[in-house]
Structure 1
Amino acid sequence: MKNSKRVIAGAMALLSAVSVASCGSSSGSSSSSSYVDKVKVASTDDIATIPDGSEKELEWLSYFDINPTKKEPEKRTDLTLFEEKGGKIKYSQTSSMNKYDKLAARLMSNDPPDMFWYEQSMTFPANCIKEMFQPVDDIVDFDSAMWSDVKDVAEQFTLNGKHFVAPINFLPGSVITYDKSMIDAAGLDDPYELYQNSEWNWDNWYDMMSEFVSNAPADVERFGINGWFQTQVIQQTGKTMVNYDGEKFTNNINDPDIERAEDLLYQVGKNNLVNGNWLGNAKQALKDGNLLFYCMGTWAMTGNNGPSDADTWRVVPVPSDPNTDEKYMTSDMTAYMWVRGSTANEAVKCWYECCRMANTDETYKENGKEKFLNANPNWTEDMYQVIVDCSSSEYNQVFDYGYGISSTMSDDNANEDGNCVTRKLYEYTNKADDNGKQFSWTELRESYSATVDAELKTINDAVVAFNKKNS
């Protein structure tokens, strides 16, 4: 299913722990070997060597490898640092579809791997409550200089007062790519300049799409946008469908800001501004000049999916809510879950620190930039900086717990139509369902309110039982 492909590709775009350094190479560019070893990574004394007598090899159960591969020949900065400290990553392959089943089987046989990829879908709270993972508090000091700037995010992923996620870095879930030459030809304001002036918001986004579509030649069908943007637009309010206070998950679909955003998306869909087809990537989406904006993760606009020599692409964040001055970003978070039963404390600690160092030290951040621009020579520094800015502490990183509650609420692949309830709540006012129905927000909310309440009751009961067991 296309939703699954998008999740896999998005995860692959996050492989590097150096900002967006791997986004270009994750597409498997045939020229990737040309930049291998161009960027040298200096050693550091700020991370301790894994002590002798400790486990030094970490087993990584995943559907992608951290080590260099034929497709990804350049060694990542975090891995370079880790190996210098005596560490090694052993890759055990599974598939994206059965990864949790494979992990459960390993745990049942008392043969746990050490690390597992954090994903928004089902990792927290569902599979933490099932005790697939262990807290990281014994190996991460969130008050230390290395971790203090992500402590507020880590606090959002706690059970019974324990932290289960050590955030490494953040990337925008989607950004908007467009061709400036098309903007100029249409006589529209440049979104990048609006963004630079803190004026890029829902209002001018909607107006630009409307003008572009309405001015199409008689024999041409135009659209304003394609891709994955609905969730991001709604979360520009700073609100999510499900809230969590560290003890209880609550239903937030009656929030008036969510309703305001949903009403906007309804109009965008009703007025035929959306191309709802799967266009694959930015290169395909923008090639004929009849789509103004393409919105997707960075995987879809880098490497083989990126601009050619003659292109005049630019990128901007999803437009902001004009009713707030706060900056919000729907976040793809890089984190490595520590599997329950793993005893490689020192090696996991070292790996976490190498990953954080690669994202916080200016030298290593510059390494990441060099790697990225080597892999994506037609990306400008301005484009790269937009991604860096959106990933910074200037933005409030937004996560919706609805994607981690249950199969019904959170797992696209567990639902017959390939769309979990949380996805439907974010997207179905903007597009038609399988029966051709485009819902108003009132209709959509009423259709799924009881389901949300029932699923949250189940997870809250499980939280109470988990806390009682682990007190």
Structure 2
Amino acid sequence: MKFRKIAALTAALMCVCSAAGCGGSSKNDSAVTTVKKVAVDDTDLIEDIPEDADHEILWMGTYDLNPKEGQDKSVEMTLFNNKGGKVKYSQVIDSEKFDKLAAAIMSKKDVPDIFKYEWLAFPCQVVKDMYQPVDSIVDFDSDLWKDTKDSADQFVLNGEHYVAPISFSVGTLMMYDYSVIENEGLDDPYELYQNGEWNWDTWYDMMNTFCSNATDGQTRYGINGWFQTQLIQQTGKTMINYDKETNTFVSNLSDPDIERAENLLYDIGKKGFVDTDWKGNANNALKDGNTLFYCMGTWAMTGNNGPKEGDDWRVVPIPSDPNTDEKYMTSDMLAYMWVKGSTKSEAVKTWYECCRIANTDATYRENGKEKFLNANPAWTEDMYQVFLDASSTEYKQVFDYGYGISGTLSDDNSNEDGNSITRKLYEFTNKTDDSGHQYTWSELRETYSATVDTELKAINEAIKTYISKQGN
């Protein structure tokens, strides 16, 4: 069965308020945008929550899983409500979410039942005893979960699974204005993608031509947004590797494929192809026609952030590495961690199952598609299909544990300059520092390799201690 994640797109649309972007509107705003509701049938593949069990789970997060006024309810929430479940929302802001979670666990007061999986969850927060294993509520040999077992096995400590993957989706897409492509006489990236010719070489040539065609006084860019990590991972390689047999993390900074990708990023940065300013969304990046591609998650391309009536915008995945025949994609994994201290096993189990079936059953996937296209009428079915295809098991989903090791290595908020070392390793050959210096990969690797080794040694020791406390 292919994993084709509807939830990332529908979550993106659920985050879109009647004002521009997320979180900006209130009930006092002039209007509430109402989208056409899509009926969702119940399923007998999931049992009701037992009458004598707690039916309400507490969700701590930066957004509400329940629909806002005027929005359609998600498929998974509809199913969960049908099974007797409710979700209570505990709101936190992004910069404080981990501290708030840790404080709740320590105080044993208002402990959330579920918390969104993020990179720091494994192994960093697992060894801090913030989550509990899911094996007692998830049967990875069952029909519903068996296709996730290989991925779930990547998040095992001491023989126990800490993550139950709901689904996988491509982390970013490249959006472009087809009218600009046509006016410049360039090949359509979507057609190149359809023909298996969308790779680093064709992408580079296209940006080079576009930027070279700038008229006097005009500044053009090939790309804006977040694409560096995804480009490097098209090689199938990551900065940090994990040996699950020995529960050990090791550095992979000397890999020649990573160096080759980093050199490409350095080159396009040096040539001025990259607009490093933060634009916020596709509308801002593409509106003047001076930037060829905008790369970001779907949240920045949907709702008020996306195309409007009359726009002929299109999307393609990250261009592939021409040196490999494998299809790789930097993956966003949807999962909900079971928080340490939660006792609502039946309700959490049912929530997991509702989310899982909403993202795998053909009928519910079609419900999700209809909900999305109703809310984003300027997105074509071809655009939607690109997202689905790039999120499918035709692609090998790539995770880098470097984002889950420690605050220094993995957490932007823990670093004074707002960039974790793993982020720097992926992105800084493509940028200049405050003095205008652009790092080569050799310089970047030499600057941070010792710190990487130190952080890996610390997490490996923490894992040994954690396992020993489990009685082994």
TM normalised by structure 2 equals: 0.94
Tell me the SS of whatever aligns to 2:123: helix
CA distance in 2, matches of 1:32, 1:259: 49
Which amino acid in the other structure matches residue 346 of structure 1?
A: E
Q: Tell me which residue corresponds to 1:10.
A: none
| Matched residue type, 1:277 | D
C-alpha displacement of 1:29: 3.5
Change (3 A) 1:428 1:19: closer
What amino acid is aligned across from residue 439 of structure 1 in structure 2? Y
Counterpart residue identity of residue 88, structure 2: K
CA–CA distance in structure 1, aligned partners of residues 85 and 326 of structure 2: 41
Q: Residue in 2 aligned with 1:293?
A: 293
Alpha-carbon distance in 2 for matches of 1:157, 1:436: 40
Q: Which amino acid aligns with 2:287?
A: K
SS of corresponding position for 1:236:
helix
Higher mean alpha-carbon deviation, 454-463 vs 163-172, is at 163-172
Q: Is the 8 A contact 2:38 2:72 kept in 1?
A: no
Task: Name the CA shift for 1:160/1:17 in 2 (closer, same or farther; >3 Å).
Answer: farther
Distance in structure 2 (CA, Å) of the matches to 1:187 and 1:165:
47
Question: Against the structure 1 CA distance between its residues 143 and 434, is the aligned structure 2 distance closer, same or farther, given a 3 Å change threshold?
Answer: farther
| Distance of 1:118 and 1:440 partners within structure 2 | 33
Question: In structure 2, the residue corresponding to 1:80 is in which secondary structure?
Answer: helix
2:21 is the counterpart of 1:23: no
Look up the match of 2:46: 47
Letter in 2 for 1:83: N
Q: CA deviation at 1:19?
A: 5.1
Long gaps (5+) in structure 1: 1-15
Query: How far apart are 1:353 and its partner, in Å?
Result: 0.3
Q: Which residue of 1 aligns with 2:90?
A: 92
Match of 2:205 in 1: 207
Alignment pair present for 1:251 and 2:251: yes
Structure 1 residue 76: Cα displacement = 1.1
- The question of 1:123 aligning with 2:112 is answered no
**Corresponding residue of 1:430:** 430
Shift of 1:187: 1.0
Task: Give 1:23 deviation, angstroms.
Answer: 2.1
Residue in structure 1 matched with residue 228 of structure 2 by the alignment: 230
CA distance in 1, matches of 2:98, 2:12: 25
Task: Give the match's secondary structure for 2:45.
Answer: coil
Q: 2:60 aligned with 1:61, yes or no?
A: yes
CA distance in 2: counterparts of 1:82 and 1:334, whole angstroms: 17
CA distance, structure 1, for counterparts of residue 12 and residue 205 of structure 2: 31
* Structure 1 Cα separation of the partners of residues 236 and 321 of structure 2: 9
Q: What is the one-letter code of the residue matched to 1:343?
A: T
* Equivalent-residue separation in structure 1 for 2:39 and 2:432 (angstroms): 50
Whole-Å separation in 1 of the counterparts to 2:436 and 2:118: 30
Kindly state the Cα deviation for residue 349 of structure 1 after the two structures are TM-superposed.
0.7
4+ aligned runs moved over 6 Å, structure 1: none
Q: Secondary structure at the match of 1:98?
A: helix
Q: What aligned pairs does 1:100-179 form with structure 2 within 5 A after superposition? A: 100-111=98-109, 112-120=111-119, 122-179=120-177
Structure 2 counterpart of 1:315: 315
Cα distance in 2, alignment partners of residues 414 and 434 from structure 1: 20
Q: For residue 229 of structure 1, what is the amino acid of its counterpart?
A: F
The answer as to 2:326 corresponding to 1:335 is: no
Shift in alpha-carbon separation, 1:74–1:192, aligned structure 2, 3 A: same
Q: Report deviation, 1:17.
A: 6.3
- 1:393 is displaced (CA, Å) by 1.1
Report if aligned partners of 1:17, 1:78 keep a CA contact under 8 Å in 2. Answer: no
Counterpart of 2:414 in structure 1 is: 414
Separation in 2 of the partners of 1:32 and 1:324? 48
SS in 2 for 1:250: strand
What's the CA shift for 1:326? 0.9
- Residues 171-229 of structure 1, C-alpha deviation per residue, up to 9 Å, x if partnerless? 21111000111111111111101111111000010110011001111121101000000
Letter in 1 for 2:223: I
Give the aligned partner of residue 5 of structure 1: none
Residue 413 of structure 1 aligns to a residue whose secondary structure is helix
Percent of counterpart pairs with the same letter?
Answer: 62
Match of 2:451 in 1: 451
The corresponding residue for 1:13 is: none
Q: What SS does structure 1 have at the residue aligned with 2:230?
A: helix
The residue identity in structure 2 corresponding to 1:114 is D
Look up the match of 2:280. 280
Correspondence 1:304 to 2:292: no
TM-score by length of 1: 0.94
Deviation of 1:24 (Å): 2.7
Letter in 2 for 1:22: A
**Corresponding letter in the other structure for 2:11:** S
Task: After superposition, give the CA deviation of every residue in 1:433-456 in whole Å (9 maximum; x if it has no partner).
Answer: 233221110111001010000000
How far did 1:46 drift?
Answer: 0.4
Distance 1:358 1:32, change over 3 A: farther
5+ unaligned residues in a row in structure 2: which ranges? 20-30
Higher mean displacement: 450-459 or 278-287: 278-287
